[in-house]
Amino acid sequence: MEEASLDSVQDITVQDSRRFQEIESDGLDDQNSDQIESDELFVQNGAEMESDDQNCVTDGQKEFVAPAVGMEFESYDDAYNYYNCYAREVGFRVRVKNSWFKRNSREKYGAVLCCSSQGFKRIKDVNRLRKETRTGCPAMMRMRMVDSKRWRVLEVTLEHNHSLGAKVYKSIKKTGVGNKMKLDSNCNAEVRTIKLYRALVIDAGANRNANFSASRCKSSSDCHNKLNLRKGDAQAMYNYFCRMQLTNPNFFYLMDLNDEGQLRNVFWIDARSRAAFAYFVDVIYIDNLYLSNKYEIPLVAFVGTNHHGQSMLLGCGLLAGETKASYAWLFKAWLTCSLGRFPQTIITERCNVLETAISEVFPRSLHRFALSHIMRKVPEKLGGLRNYDVIRKALIKTIYESLKPFDFEAAWRFMIQRFGVGDHEWLCSLYNDRAKWAPVYLKDTFFAGMATARSNETLTAFFDKYVHKQTPLKEFLDKYELALQKKFKEEALADIESRNSNPELKTRCSFELQLSNAYTREIFKRFQLEVEEMYSCFSTTQLHVDGQVIIFLVKERVLEEGNRREIRDYEVLYNKAAAEVRCICSCFNFYGYLCRHALCVLNFNGVEEIPSKYILSRWKKDYKRLCASDLESSSTESTEQVQWFNQLYRSALQVVEEGMISLDHYKVALNAFEESLSRVHHIEEKTK
């Protein structure tokens, strides 16, 4: 199976939701005149047998996964070797029944592998009759080369009509000198294939104790070398993955096994999340709450934000432990879906292990700590201090009200000196990391609304309402489906609402009218608040001129505790020639739209429309439609047919999501699909 550039990883990808059918390609021989029948059988030398003995598993300890429709392999050899590995464990030998080749290039594009007892020998032209050993056994695996030169299993028959022997390790025919040399050269590939095949092994004998705990591990390294699963969890997970492969087009997963063949780490992503991945991967939040807080399921989630500002899932993983190796494996697995696109910004909790793994796997991404996570730890870390309430208020004021680094440094020094907490370990470490979490240092980082730069904002766990500390894996897999369905329905409803309704305008400002036609409804409401609050800014004056750049001072009355008003000053840089405006509050980088202070400066200078560079495409109503073709054309590594498939798939998926909202939506979507299919068939008939 595919190695996917990750050690001990199994990659199976399914791209069709229907039962897979063989489709003839141009240039193939319709009459199968090139069909070849062969008695090619697996031949194994002593070195490989020795390697197998080390990898073989006692009956009852492992359940070996049989071939299934939808499995995919990187090459024909990988598929052939996999079926051989399976056959040897079950107790039969393999023969290549049929092979199909392209007429011009003679490239193999299809094959049927079968049990060596399949069919019956022909007695014509045989000088010496031998005892019949074949039984007409129906066991077989039919496969075909599909997109990107991968080999997909199209049909499988597992039943045999004869007794199965012990595991097959002997050669079925003698090995000559030439064959032996050929086998020696392929030994490493065969051992690799066996290792990859073992990634399909479900560890039914390991981790049987449902009350397994860290205290019962022999060492911490043992705990971090395999998943802590209850009995039946691994099988339930594998069954779920197989079902998703056959019902959810483009579902993708990877498994990582340790040297003993036990499941260590897992990653998966469903089709709709993969489709969203192409649009909203600029900023991601890696949520490891469940892993770091020792939940029953060691879950890590990749979370992004869509064009409505809603959280969305971009992949999931289960990890053996909070180690650099496990995190690095998960991040590399996630990157296999990214088409080479790295996130611009990655947000995580404050964790040294995470920081190290991210710097290794995402060297081009900006790594920032979630401020809301830090603030949640304040009661735990500082609650025992005398004057805790006063210290907490001083800390909040320092973090959220400092507009310049100088202000932050001065306020911090004053706080620790006043309350005598200069030697507090947590505060000292927090100060040392300030460039990664304090808003005043992050003004050049784009957050797409996930910055939590205001005291009332927080990043919540994606599965917050679906998972508690004791939720078992089997239950989570069901809740995972419910959570995603709810999120996709919310997005579809928001799409419809944004397209079909006109937001109510609350001012006469031209900026409000301009973006009411562009932004999704929710993002427009957020921007609309900035337009309304322009009226709390009562003074805009010019401070300084430096060539083309003019610095303005905007005064705003800000509502504080106790309904008292406080006047704050905001500096705004404006360059008319370059159509650039930048406020010291950095609202645009934090939230993706201009703030009230910048709008006041534009209005002061007679600008009636916001410059296009400050109207982000990711917030637009039709963003996914507009950029689908751009995304595909930018993929230089994809073939033209793969680009067509991806774009058609994304377009169809939008119709599917909105067609699930109600019965009326369903009927319209279904009629549209049927009409489209009829028109495509009409074109096909015209070209015949």
Which of these ranges, 85-99, 528-542, 560-574, 639-653, has the smallest mean pLDDT? 639-653
Q: Which pLDDT band holds residue 88 (cuts at 50, 70, 90)?
A: confident
Which pLDDT does position 19 carry in this prediction?
28
Mean pLDDT of 88-99: 88
Structure tokens at 65: 């996964």
Q: Which pLDDT band holds residue 124 (cuts at 50, 70, 90)?
A: low
Mean pLDDT of 386-408: 95
Do 247 and 349 share a domain, yes or no?
yes
In a domain, 278, yes or no: yes
In a domain, 625, yes or no: no
Q: How far apart are CA 630 and CA 625, in angstroms?
A: 10
First-to-final CA distance of the chain? 38
Whether 152 shows a pLDDT value over 70: the answer reads: yes
Whether 33 shows a pLDDT value over 90: the answer reads: no
Do 609 and 644 share a domain, yes or no?
no
* Beta carbons of 233 and 208 less than 8 angstroms apart: no
More confident position, 409 or 199: 409
410-427 pLDDT per residue, tens: 999 999 999 999 999 999
7-23 pLDDT per residue, tens: 333 333 333 323 223 32
Whether 5 shows a pLDDT value over 50: the answer reads: no
Q: How far apart are CA 430 and CA 86, in angstroms?
A: 54
More confident position, 675 or 420: 420
- Burial group, residue 357, by CB count within 10 angstroms (0-12, 13-18, 19+): buried
Do 293 and 421 share a domain, yes or no?
no
In a domain, 444, yes or no: yes
657 HSE (CA, 13 A, CB side): 24
Amino acid at 431: Y
Q: Residue 393 carries which DSSP code? A: H
Q: Residues in the chain, how many?
A: 688
Residue that is written with structure tokens 């009350």 in the block:
211
Please list, in sequence order, all residues whose beta carbon lies within 8 angstroms of the beta carbon of residue 10, skipping any fewer than 6 positions away: 1, 2, 196, 199, 200, 254, 255
Structural Rg of the chain based on CA atoms? 31
Which pLDDT does position 135 carry in this prediction?
83
Which of these ranges, 230-239, 384-393, 646-655, has the smallest mean pLDDT? 646-655
Please list, in sequence order, all residues whose beta carbon lies within 8 angstroms of the beta carbon of residue 312, skipping any fewer than 6 positions away: 273, 276, 280, 303, 304, 305, 306, 487, 491
Mean pLDDT of 373-388: 93
Which pLDDT does position 687 carry in this prediction?
63
- State the pairing for strand pair 311-318/345-348: unpaired
In a domain, 315, yes or no: yes
Mean pLDDT of 171-186: 40
Return the closest-CA partner of residue 494 out of 471, 524, 521, 467.
Answer: 521
Q: Which pLDDT band holds residue 347 (cuts at 50, 70, 90)?
A: very high
Distance of CA 107 to the CA centre of its chain: 34
Q: How far apart are CA 271 and CA 252, in angstroms?
A: 8
Return the closest-CA partner of residue 591 out of 511, 657, 526.
Answer: 526
Do 277 and 364 share a domain, yes or no?
yes
User: Exposure string (b/e) for 488-516, b if CB count within 10 Å is 16 or more?
Assistant: beebbebbeebeeeebeeeeebebbeebb
For the sheet containing 263-269, what is the strand order? 9-13, 252-257, 263-269, 311-318, 299-305, 283-287, 345-348, 366-369
In a domain, 324, yes or no: yes
Return the closest-CA partner of residue 433 out of 377, 477, 386.
Answer: 377
φ/ψ bin of 546: left (φ > 0), alpha (ψ from -120 to 50), beta (otherwise) = beta
Domain end residue (candidates: 369, 393, 425): 369
Which of these ranges, 341-350, 503-512, 629-638, has the smallest mean pLDDT? 629-638
236-295 pLDDT per residue, tens: 888 888 888 777 767 888 888 888 878 899 999 988 888 888 789 999 999 999 998 888
Q: How far apart are CA 688 and CA 667, in angstroms?
A: 32
Mean pLDDT of 54-68: 51
More confident position, 233 or 168: 233
Which pLDDT does position 478 carry in this prediction?
86
- Burial group, residue 457, by CB count within 10 angstroms (0-12, 13-18, 19+): middle
Q: Which pLDDT band holds residue 581 (cuts at 50, 70, 90)?
A: very high
More confident position, 165 or 536: 536
Structural domain count of the chain: 5
Mean pLDDT of 209-231: 57
Do 346 and 421 share a domain, yes or no?
no
Do 543 and 597 share a domain, yes or no?
yes
Question: Taking the CB of residue 68, how many other CB atoms lie within 10 A of it?
Answer: 16
Which of these ranges, 47-56, 178-187, 407-416, 427-436, has the smallest mean pLDDT? 47-56
Domain end residue (candidates: 336, 369, 402): 369
Q: Residue 359 carries which DSSP code? A: H
Do 351 and 382 share a domain, yes or no?
no
Amino acid at 182: K
Label each residue of 417-466 as H, E or C.
Answer: HHHCCCCCHHHHHHHHCHHHCCHHHCCCCCCCCCCCCCCCCCCCCCCCCC
* Beta carbons of 328 and 278 less than 8 angstroms apart: no
Do 238 and 358 share a domain, yes or no?
yes
In a domain, 489, yes or no: no
Domain end residue (candidates: 458, 473, 499): 458
Whether 628 shows a pLDDT value over 80: the answer reads: no
Neighbouring-strand partners of residue 554: 540, 570
Do 237 and 365 share a domain, yes or no?
yes
Which pLDDT does position 643 carry in this prediction?
62
Neighbouring-strand partners of residue 299: 318
Please list, in sequence order, all residues whose beta carbon lies within 8 angstroms of the beta carbon of residue 510, skipping any fewer than 6 positions away: 608, 609
Whether 481 shows a pLDDT value over 60: the answer reads: yes
Mean pLDDT of 649-663: 75
What SS3 state is found at 158? coil
Question: Taking the CB of residue 30, how many other CB atoms lie within 10 A of it?
Answer: 7
Return the closest-CA partner of residue 257 out of 119, 67, 57, 106.
Answer: 57
In a domain, 166, yes or no: no
Whether 43 shows a pLDDT value over 90: the answer reads: no
Do 339 and 417 share a domain, yes or no?
no
434-468 pLDDT per residue, tens: 999 999 999 999 999 998 998 888 888 889 888 88
Mean pLDDT of 580-606: 97
Structure tokens at 260: 């003993």
Neighbouring-strand partners of residue 540: 554
Domain span at 317: 233-369
Average per-residue pLDDT for the chain: 78
Which pLDDT does position 688 carry in this prediction?
55
Do 291 and 398 share a domain, yes or no?
no
In a domain, 309, yes or no: yes
**pTM for the structure as a whole:** 0.67
* Beta carbons of 304 and 284 less than 8 angstroms apart: yes
How does DSSP assign 548-611, residue by residue?
TEEEEEEEEEEE-GGG-EEEEEEEEEEETTTTEEEETT-HHHHHSS--HHHHHHHHHTT--S--
Do 245 and 365 share a domain, yes or no?
yes
